[in-house]
């Protein structure tokens, strides 16, 4: 009897813990900002979980304000931001970013409260704009020309917690129901054994088996593509459509959708990829050259004829730029597979980029494709990382130099950075594909399913630090839904406004381009929060207004041939 009670108590505790999301809740964190002279702007509040200033694991919320809103409140209103419970449970650091500021706009913050606790305005500091506390009010002075945002970081003690709410009535109901159910099942199992002479092992096995039947539906993956399989996942279709009527293939389509998204499918794929990679150094995502210890992604293998007409969108983009007195330069980064081919490299991976570049160079576009230069430079140092598809900083410097040769024809007064302008450091890890410039093991190894990543990190890469880096005003990450960017102001650069547009290959270019021009805005158009992969190249849909408001002299559009399949979306507004 005692054993049955003890077992039922253990099961009750387990079931209650599993269902904690039903009775245990975190209330939203309330962030109140009292603002005066509110104008067109966007306020983003970031709360970092870790006790550091890198804001690596931050959660945030944003709100935009317009003149239409503020005219009815005489530019003085208490604005309230609410963070959902899934975003924040505890925060160690606080940062506020006010973007889209007018160059002549002075912004005044009277108070900042989080969960009704006042934060000392004297403890806010900014690296990229001028601020002053006057009469216990935080005055944000107009930012330097070329920057339209201000970042405020709180340097006091911060311990932001979401208030906890426990539904005791529901908790008691769950404990009683599961307690009675567990006790009843325990008794039934014991009686079933004594009456039918069945072993407890069989009973437990059958019970666990039927419980596990529900595991796949615990979490449905909402991703559009599977990077670990290098393919698009099945989409959920409707059983009945008002125009087409009943979908008689819905059963098969739902089965395909569920098979692509059940929990924990990703773990099974990782294990499978690791086994396949271990057997033949190749899987669905990529392959390994064991002689050179270089990891490869499977680059785009679509026949050239399927994508060659995408270049027409580049011509439309160039015409758009001409209409607004903007010079467009298109920097196409060669694929790593083409610079460092191996025995497993597909022929299309080698011929497609050359055919595409040859095709689009027949137009009047400013195309920079530093393939030959990178081939030559790889004899001196690594131009691509061994464990990522991104070029190294040395490779990016080669691309930057070739780009500037073309830009200088139109703007002869610019000063191009030389290698003598930089100090150097060396590291066997990688900083390539994120705004924070953190060192990692590289993304390719993760997706391939490699367990021992250190095995492939026995070479050191060259990293650049400009000798005048203290004079560069750098706007830290603005990373909010549908918007990811960074701004730079360098007083010694050419008096030109530049937008650096494109994908992650730009991250290593920011070590050079911001030291060439006075005003540079980096806009990333892929891997942006809440931006689906299919939307990533819809430049006109998401960034047209920003491109025109910034009034750039130059747009540098940087991407790899692998992304040329998406160029047809440049002017897609749907």
Instruction: Give the DSSP letter of residue 493.
Output: S
Domain ranges of the chain: 2-23+165-213, 28-162, 225-263, 294-569
The pLDDT profile of the chain, 574 residues, written as one tens digit per residue, is 677 788 888 888 888 888 887 788 877 788 888 877 666 677 888 888 776 666 665 677 777 766 544 333 334 444 555 655 555 666 778 888 887 666 566 778 888 888 888 888 988 888 777 788 888 888 887 666 556 678 888 888 887 888 888 888 888 988 988 888 888 777 776 666 565 555 666 666 666 666 677 777 777 787 777 766 667 788 888 887 777 788 888 888 888 888 888 888 877 887 877 888 888 888 877 888 888 889 988 766 666 666 677 788 899 999 999 999 999 999 999 988 889 988 777 776 677 777 778 777 777 899 999 999 999 999 999 999 998 889 999 999 999 999 999 999 999 999 999 999 999 999 988 886 666 677 888 888 877 878 778 888 888 999 999 999 888 877 666 777 788 888 899 999 999 999 999 988 998 999 999 999 999 999 988 888 778 878 888 999 999 988 988 899 999 999 988 788 888 889 988 8
Tell which CATH classification among 2.60.60.40, 1.10.645.10, 2.60.120.700, 3.30.56.10 matches the domain 28-162. Answer: 2.60.60.40
Q: In 3D, which of 102, 106, 109, 90 has the Cα closest to residue 152?
A: 109
Cα distance from N-terminal residue to C-terminal residue, the chain: 67
Residues in CB range of 375: below 8 A, 6 or more apart? 339
- Residue 193's φ and ψ, nearest 5 degrees, are -70, -45
Measured distance CA(557)–CA(326) in Å, rounded? 12
> What secondary structure, in 3-state letters, does 122-173 show?
HHEECCCCCEEEECCEEEECCCCCCCCCEEEEECCCCCEECCEEECHHHHHH
CA distance 308 to 218: 43
Q: Which residue has the tokens 């041939």?
A: 561
Number of alpha carbons in the 13 Å side-chain half-sphere of residue 46: 25
Cβ atoms 447, 277 nearer than 8 A? no
> How far is 328 from 501, CA to CA, in rounded Å?
10
Cα 553 to the center of its chain, rounded Å: 28
* Angstrom distance (rounded) from CA 313 to CA 570: 6
């Amino acid at each position: 009897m005692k054993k049955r009670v003890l077992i039922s108590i253990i099961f009750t505790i387990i079931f209650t813990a599993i269902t904690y999301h039903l009775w245990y809740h975190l209330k939203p964190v309330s962030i109140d900002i009292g603002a005066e002279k509110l104008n067109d702007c966007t306020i983003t509040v970031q709360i970092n979980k870790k006790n550091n200033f890198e804001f690596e694991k931050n959660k945030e919320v944003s709100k935009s304000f317009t003149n239409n809103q503020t005219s009815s409140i005489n530019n003085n209103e208490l604005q309230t931001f609410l963070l959902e419970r899934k975003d924040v449970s505890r925060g160690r650091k606080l940062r506020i970013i006010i973007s889209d500021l007018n160059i002549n706009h002075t912004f005044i913050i009277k108070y900042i409260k989080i969960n009704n606790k006042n934060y000392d305005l004297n403890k806010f500091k900014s690296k990229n704009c001028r601020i002053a506390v006057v009469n216990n009010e935080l005055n944000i002075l107009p930012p330097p020309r070329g920057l339209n945002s201000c970042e405020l970081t709180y340097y006091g003690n911060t311990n932001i917690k979401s208030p906890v709410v426990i539904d005791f009535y529901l908790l008691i109901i769950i404990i009683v129901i599961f307690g009675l159910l567990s006790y009843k099942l325990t008794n039934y199992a014991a009686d079933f054994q004594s009456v039918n002479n069945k072993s407890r092992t069989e009973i437990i096995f059958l019970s666990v088996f039927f419980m596990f039947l529900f595991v796949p539906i615990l979490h449905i993956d909402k991703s559009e593509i599977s990077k670990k399989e290098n393919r698009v996942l099945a989409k959920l279709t409707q059983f009945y459509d008002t125009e087409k009527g009943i979908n008689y293939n819905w059963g098969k389509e739902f089965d395909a959708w569920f098979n692509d998204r059940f929990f924990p499918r990703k773990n099974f794929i990782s294990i499978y990829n690791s086994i396949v990679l271990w057997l033949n150094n190749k899987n669905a995502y990529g392959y390994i050259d064991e002689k050179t210890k270089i990891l490869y992604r499977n680059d785009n293998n679509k026949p050239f004829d399927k994508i060659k007409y995408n270049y027409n969108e580049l011509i439309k983009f160039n015409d758009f730029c001409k209409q607004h007195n903007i010079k467009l330069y298109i920097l196409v980064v060669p694929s790593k597979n083409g610079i460092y081919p191996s025995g497993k490299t597909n022929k299309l991976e080698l011929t497609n980029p050359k055919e595409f570049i040859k095709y689009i160079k027949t137009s009047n576009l400013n195309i920079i494709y530093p393939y030959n230069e990178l081939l030559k430079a790889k004899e001196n140092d690594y131009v691509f990382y061994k464990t990522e598809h991104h070029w190294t900083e040395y490779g990016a410097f080669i691309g930057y130099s070739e780009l500037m040769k073309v830009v200088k024809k139109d703007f002869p007064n610019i000063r191009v950075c030389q290698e003598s302008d930089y100090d150097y450091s060396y590291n066997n890890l990688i900083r390539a594909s994120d705004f924070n410039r953190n060192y990692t093991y590289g993304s390719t190894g993760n997706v391939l399913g490699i367990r021992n990543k250190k095995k492939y990190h026995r070479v050191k890469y060259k990293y650049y630090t400009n000798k005048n880096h203290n004079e560069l005003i750098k706007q830290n990450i603005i990373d909010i839904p549908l918007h990811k960017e960074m701004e730079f102001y360098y007083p010694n650069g050419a008096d030109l406004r530049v937008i650096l547009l494109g994908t992650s290959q730009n991250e290593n270019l920011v070590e050079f381009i911001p030291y060439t021009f006075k005003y540079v805005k980096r806009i990333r158009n892929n891997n942006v929060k809440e931006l689906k992969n299919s939307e990533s190249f819809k430049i006109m849909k998401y960034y047209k207004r920003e491109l025109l408001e910034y009034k750039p002299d130059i747009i540098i559009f940087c991407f790899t041939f692998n992304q040329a399949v998406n160029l047809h979306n440049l002017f897609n507004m749907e």
